[in-house]
Structure 1
Amino acid sequence: MNNKVIAIVLVVIGVALTVWGYDVYDSAASQVGRALSGDTPIEAWAGLIGGVVCVLIGITKLK
């Protein structure tokens, strides 16, 4: 029972991190920065990758 709760929390946190990372990636400041220098903010990458990792770990713990 305890592992399932942790797994569900990981999935929820992962989805929230992924959405936050995409919001940072798609923000106006990020778009201007990408247009001028071609760099993506590290916060966007951290949110996207961290979110996907959390979701994958949560899904594997649910099985």
Structure 2
Amino acid sequence: MNKAVSVAILVVGLILLYFGWQEKQSVSSQVTEAITNQPTDNSMMFLIGGAVAVIIGLGGVVAGSKK
């Protein structure tokens, strides 16, 4: 994988994690979580997608630097 693509995926992952964290901390998400005792689907998708993208991006950056 190209190093620039890996860095772009890493940045996108960090942005997704940021938006997921903001969504999880929102008032409507906290009210829903208090009632259902589960985080909202939207915040979980952002957090999981961001974590996967960060892992892939870091893997590409590390593997690209070993060449």
Once the two structures are superposed, the pairs formed by residues 11-50 of structure 1 within 5 Å of their partners are 11-50=10-49
Match of residue 60 from structure 2: 61
Q: Cα deviations across residues 3-54 of structure 1 (Å, max 9, x unaligned)?
A: 0110010010000000101111110001111112213111111111110110
1:40 partner SS: coil
The structure 1 segments of at least 4 consecutive aligned residues displaced by more than 2 Å after TM superposition are: none
**Overall identity of the aligned pairs, in %:** 31
| Equivalent position of 1:9 in the other structure | 8
Unaligned runs of 5+ in 2: 63-67
Quote the RMSD (CA, aligned, Å): 1.2
Count of residue correspondences: 62
TM-score relative to the length of structure 1: 0.90
> Structure 1 CA distance, aligned partners of 2:2 and 2:45?
25
The answer for unaligned runs of 5 or more in structure 1 is none
Give the TM-score of the pair, scaled to structure 2: 0.85
